[in-house]
Amino acid sequence: MISKPQPPAVALSYLLVALTILLTVYGQIAIKWQVLRAGALPDGMGAKALFVFKLLLNPWIISALAAAFLAAICWIGAMTKLELSQAYPFMALNFILITLLAGWFFSEPITWPKLAGLGLVVLGLIVGSLA
């Protein structure tokens, strides 16, 4: 059982949750950007392995992997003060930010059904964080 933390510790924990979200979103956007630049996955196992190997050496991909690692560190820090059921609903913000940024950066369509789904995610986040 987690003891009730003092208010500054809670604020720091929510900052760590926010950093987890931002680092995760950065990583996803950076990977998608670099994969689009690299082109389609080639045919043949050797060509596919070389394609992935080159991507893993790409500085942007490396930064995305580093962001994922830092996001994990931030999440660990947040979990020292917050209950999982208290913090995890905020991870739904990843869906919202990724959808909006994918529309902006990659011209992915943001349809009315997607917007309705995002609205439901927001509603779920509100209900989940109040409970």
pTM to 2 decimals?
0.85
Q: Is the pLDDT of residue 3 over 60?
A: no
Tokens of 11: 């604020």
Q: Of the spans 1-10, 36-45, 59-68, 87-96, which averages the highest pLDDT?
A: 59-68
pLDDT at 85: 86
What integer is the mean pLDDT of 99-108?
Answer: 96
Q: Is the pLDDT of residue 131 over 70?
A: no
What integer is the mean pLDDT of 88-100?
Answer: 93
pLDDT digits (tens, 9 = 90+) for 10-67: 889 999 999 999 999 999 999 999 999 999 999 999 999 999 999 999 999 999 999 9
pLDDT at 5: 54
pLDDT digits (tens, 9 = 90+) for 112-124: 999 999 999 999 8
pLDDT at 6: 60
